[in-house]
Structure 1
Amino acid sequence: MTSQNRRGLITGTLAGAGLAAGGMIFGQPTAALAASEGLVVITPSGDPTGVTDHAAIQDALSEVNRQVLLSAGEFRINQPIVVRSNQRLIGAGAQATKIIQVGTGHGITSVSSSAINYVTIAGLSLIGQYVPTDTPPADGPSGIHLAPGPAEGPSNITIEDCVVKNWGDCGVHLTAVIASRITRVQSVKNGGNGFYVTKTATAAATSLSFEACYVLGNRKNGYELDYVSYSTLNACAVDGGLRGYALYNCSAVTLTSCGAEVFTDVGFLLRNSRGCSLFSPYTFKGAKTGIHIGASTVNVTIGGAVQSDPASATVPALTNFIVSEAGSSAVLWGVTRTSPNALAGKTTNLDGTA
């Protein structure tokens, strides 16, 4: 039997089958992905004011059930692109298709008085005007800001293979997302959080998945989740910023093989949360605390936590690796650490490593 390597399978039989079926190979859209009706293809105009490109993209998204393909090149916009339910905005790849905000608003946003369901944003870079050395504006724009009406929630939001950088507030800001996925998205040098998920007055976020996302050099937290339930972060990473991962009022959120490096406060912070789990959390050269479990956070599971290379000539060693406040509860095992722990909460140390 003739053997065939993995590359051969991808470029041979499987690739042909995928293209024939109208699928996506490594996040790149094929023509068959979109229905023949409702598909719009746009190329950059070269207008530096942002008026022409914004008008072209917004006109293409003026109706629901639209799929807009952006060709390679630099698009300039002077105001936010508004997406509505049942729409796709897909570029030729994050290095190829760039949307540059030359105005003052968000990059991509929604109509805040209505629902926003079944939206896909993929294969592009969104670039704002914020300079990382500046003080972030008090109410700055975000790269992607999807916030529905108070009684609504975004359902099935997909963001993949994107770079979001240089925004005054968050790279990605999502409100009350449900059954949604963020995959291979980079949030870089923004004035707020890399990714921020919160709730409306009546709806929280549930069934949310972050996969292989990366945060670099943001002013605040890498990932901040407020009122999020039964959701996951898998193989995500943070370099720099105040905190790597900050969970507030969350339930049954699981982080698996996620890392935080060179943070200035806490690698992993959990407050007022319950039933959350950290499996193989990793810290590298953090400045203060590796993992902090707040007073009202209970039933936490932490397994296989690793503190790696905690000190350098410019970054002091962590004061503590794991801190649990009185009133918290956690089960720990398989901890690899150099710095001491400070465990004031109710802690079950299964193998003595903590």
Structure 2
Amino acid sequence: MFGYNVKDDFNAIGDGTNDDTSAIQNALNAANTAGGGTIYIPAGKYLITTSLTVFSNTTLQGAAQNATIIIQNGLSAHIASKDANYISINDITFKGPGMDASWGGGIILDRENNGNTEGINFKNVTLSGIVGNALTVNCPITSSFTNVKTVGVVGDGFSFISSGTSVVMNNCYAITCTQSGYNLSQLNYSTLNACAVEVCGIGFNLNNNCNNISLISCGAEDDVYRNADYPGIDYKLIGGVGNSLISCYSRNNVDNGAGIVLNGGNPTIIGYRQIGSCANSIIDDSNTHVTLISPSLGSAVNLQPGTVGQSGASSNRPTTNLFVGYQYYDTDLKKTIWYSGTDWCDAVGTTVS
């Protein structure tokens, strides 16, 4: 059924004690020589003492997410590859030495000569006890991640860097990461569906001008203060255009944290729900032009004038979830008005009835 079996064909032991590095790497090398293939790793615990190199056109297939486990105790990475495309990893757990160790990285798919890293597909994968980023992909394109979990990470859970496009993440989970659960840098036209984050310094970190990223029904719970750079923020968006949060959720109790922090750009936030207590449910700066529709907020907001809200007749002006700068297009007055904290005002600050 599978091209290469690390036990049957390459004498791997899989007991968590004997060193299986050579057996797994020899299987990877054989597939590469043949132009690609599938390496099957049966149920068991496989100790590696050197980072594995995975080549293009390769699938690593385990028996089940928590049945096939690859263990390392202080390497820079479980897998470290450069300029490799069309890699799939399914039904495997990668276990590091734990958050108290001095080193023990996860998976690094880097690039040196290639313009991007294409066709990376992970399904039913766990990375736990990692010191260093759990999963780093340099400029991913046309890639997908489904039911991928990062747990107990000194660093970022997921780190997609140096641009990238057409990435889809479905029901992924980052828990207890000392930096960001999801670090997305310069990523473009990509989607996160029903992804979750918990107990991280920043939950979803869209930085360095991501564009046209949609977070749909994503949730952030109990993010915590790690340091001044990662102070317990659920969603942080820095620059970029066309980014959207749709039906996203926060649960937080961080005195100096926030649900959403916006620095520049023109994001759209629809149906955002924030419960618990934090300094601000949403905060932005004067360079941000946010469209905020139908929020449900448990904490104060701190938004600059210019926020777009809803539209309708004078009699239907909103009375709840208001904040200074909230805009409403009044169809009776045929103009946009804004809330001053006590009154509705027109563009020059005159109170309107």
Tell me which interval the TM-score lies in, with the shorter structure as reference length.
0.7 to 0.9
Post-superposition CA distance 1:231-263 (Å, at most 9, x none): 010000011010110001200001000000001
User: Which one of 173, 176, 183 corresponds to residue 214 of structure 1?
Assistant: 173
State the shift of 1:46 in Å. 4.8
Conserved? CA contact 1:80–1:105, under 8 Å: yes
1:276 and 2:239 equivalent?
no
Cα shift readout 1:164-197 (whole Å, capped 9, x = no counterpart)? 0111111111110100001101100010011111
1:75 corresponds to 2:46: yes
Structure 1 residue aligned with 2:90: 122
- Verify the 8 A CA contact 2:15 2:44 in the aligned structure 1: no
Residues in 2 aligned to 1:117 and 1:149: alpha-carbon distance in whole angstroms: 12
Q: What letter is aligned with 1:247?
A: L
Specify which of 253, 261, 275 is matched with residue 292 of structure 1: 261
Please state how far the C-alpha of 1:215 moved relative to its aligned partner: 1.1
Note the C-alpha offset of 1:41: 0.9
Question: Within 5 Å, which residues of 2 pair with 1:126-145?
Answer: 126-131=94-99, 134=100, 137=102, 140-145=103-108
Amino acid at match of 2:279: T
Tell me if the contact between 2:134 and 2:150 (Cα under 8 Å) persists in the aligned partners: yes
Is residue 2:300 matched to residue 1:336?
Answer: no
**C-alpha separation in 1, matches of 2:213 and 2:113:** 24
Aligned residues, how many? 296
Residue identity opposite 2:259 in structure 1: G
Partner Cα distance (1:102, 1:66) in 2: 28
**One-letter amino acid matched to 1:123:** D
Report the equivalent of 1:40: 4
Output the amino acid matched with 1:208. V
Letter in 2 for 1:320: N
- The residue type paired with residue 183 of structure 1 is T
Correspondent of 2:28 among 51, 54, 61: 61
The answer to whether the 8 A contact 1:100-1:128 is kept is: yes
Question: Retained in 2: the 8 A contact 1:177–1:206?
Answer: yes
> Does structure 1 conserve the Cα–Cα contact (< 8 Å) formed by 2:215 and 2:244?
yes
TM alignment of 1:177-326, pairs within 5 A: 177-199=140-162, 204-248=163-207, 249-264=209-224, 265-287=232-254, 288-294=257-263, 297-308=264-275, 310=276, 317-326=277-286
- How many Å separate the matches in 2 of 1:345 and 1:237? 31
Which residue is equivalent to 1:174? 137
Structure 2 letter corresponding to 1:152: G
**CA contact under 8 A between 1:193 and 1:221: conserved in structure 2?**
yes
Superposition CA RMSD, Å: 1.7
- Structure with the higher fraction of residues in strand conformation: 2
What is the CA-CA distance between 1:152 and the residue it aligns to? 2.9
Unmatched runs of 5 consecutive residues or more in structure 1:
1-30, 311-316
**Does the 8 Å CA contact 1:267/1:286 hold for their aligned counterparts?**
no
* Structure 2 CA distance for partners of 1:46 and 1:340, relative to 1, 3 Å: closer
The structure with the largest alpha-carbon Rg is 2
The Cα of 1:339 is off from its aligned counterpart by: 0.7
Matched AA of 1:329: H
Rounded Cα–Cα distance in structure 2 between residues aligned with 1:153 and 1:182: 17
CA distance in 2, matches of 1:150, 1:331: 40
Matching residue's letter, 1:291? I
Q: Give the 3-state SS of the residue equivalent to 1:60 in structure 2.
A: helix
How far the C-alpha of 1:40 sits from its partner, in A, is 0.4
Contact 1:332 1:347 in 2 (8 A): yes
Q: What corresponds to 1:149 in structure 2?
A: 112
TM-score by length of 2: 0.80
- Specify the code of the residue in structure 2 equivalent to 1:260: A
1:164 to 116, 127, 150: 127
Tell me the CA shift for residue 157 of structure 1: 0.4
Counterpart residue identity of residue 197, structure 1:
F
1-structure distance, mates of 2:145, 2:110: 16
Distance 1:95 1:47 in 2: 14
Q: In 2, are the aligned partners of 1:49 and 1:102 still within 8 Å (CA)?
A: no
Displacement of 1:66: 2.1
Tell me, in whole angstroms, the C-alpha distance in 2 between the residues paired with 1:284 and 1:189: 20
Sequence identity percentage:
30
Alignment CA distance shift 1:274-1:158 (3 Å): same
